[in-house]
Structure formats: structure tokens, C-alpha cells
Amino acid sequence: MSELIGKELGLYRIVEFLGAGGMSTVYRAYHPALERYVAVKVLPEQISAEEELRQRFQQEVRVIAKLEHAHILPVHDYGLDRGRLYLVMRYIESGALKDRLDQGRLEMGQISHVIHQVGSALSYAHREGVIHRDVNPRNVLIDAQGDCYLSDFGLARFIAA
């Protein structure tokens, strides 16, 4: 999907490729009206083309967007443009816990900080009836201040609250 770089997707101008997973590609994008960068997760066109999958995506996004917690990556928007479903989230420039771990071991205080913040986010999500199901270092983003944000609830399971 590198053909999206430099193009508009909904209200967002795709700037650069950030990464890809099994079900999506993530880009850094610019939102001109708000003059800020965001992360845009784009689903494959074959998923976007199936009505049942589109409806499930929209339902899941609405549930996840309601998760208001200091350590859950906020969802700003979602949409369908030119046959592509996309999800817009806060852009965290510093990267993922995986990137930090690749640089070497964390100190005990840093480990405690990560566990406390991610655990707090998971506890809140569980109270709201959402089970993440894919907690790993790629899905924990860390900002420049060292604060963690749980992301990628794409495999989440929703339980009756």
C-alpha cells in the first residue's frame, strides 16, 4: 500500500509508512485542519469490501473509542475512503516498547513503570468488557516522557458487561 504515500485518505494526507501487520498497514499522516500528525491504520481492500467485516470493524472501533484511559492509545476517527477502511489514532513519535527493548535491557524501575501503566490500561479495559488478546511489546507505545499506551485492539474480544 505504499501507493498511498503522498495521497489523501479521508481528511488525512499520508506522509510515511510506519509498519505492517497481518491485517493492516500503519502510516503517519497529517491532518491539515487540526495541524497535527496522526497514525492511520489502513485495512486491506478485500476486508473493506465485505459488508459483514465492515460492520464488525465499525462496531469494534466504536467500542474501543469509548475506552478513555490515560494509557490506552486514543482513537480519533475512522472511515471508508476509496474502498479502504481506516482507523485514526494518536501518533506516538517515540515508538514501541519493542524498539526500546531492541536497544537493551530495561532497568527495574522502567520495568515497573511499564507493568504498572499497561496493567492499569488492561484492568480498565476488562472492567469495560474488552479483552485485548494481543498484548506484546509491539502493541505498547512509549512517548518521549516514557509513558506507555496500549494499542492495537484489533484482536479484542468483547464480553458481556
Active site residues: 134
Kindly state the cell numbers that stand for 126: 476488562
d(CA 39, CA 17): 10
**Cα–Cα separations (whole angstroms), residue 132 to 8, 17, 60, 95, 124:** 30, 25, 12, 20, 11
Q: What's the chain's length in residues? A: 161
